[in-house]
Amino acid sequence: MDFAVMEPFNQRIAIRFHMPGLCAKETVDYVAHHLRLAGAAEPILDENAIHAVHELSFGIPKKNRRHHRAGPYLRHVRSQTDGHR
Confidence of residue 64 (pLDDT cuts 50, 70, 90): low
What are the tens digits of pLDDT across the range 68-77? 556 666 666 6
Mean pLDDT of the chain: 76
| Domain residue extents for the chain | 19-82
What are the tens digits of pLDDT across the range 29-60? 988 888 888 888 888 888 888 888 888 888 88
Helices assigned H by DSSP within 1-85: 7-12, 24-37, 47-57, 61-64, 67-82
Alpha-carbon distance of 27 to 23, in angstroms, equals 6
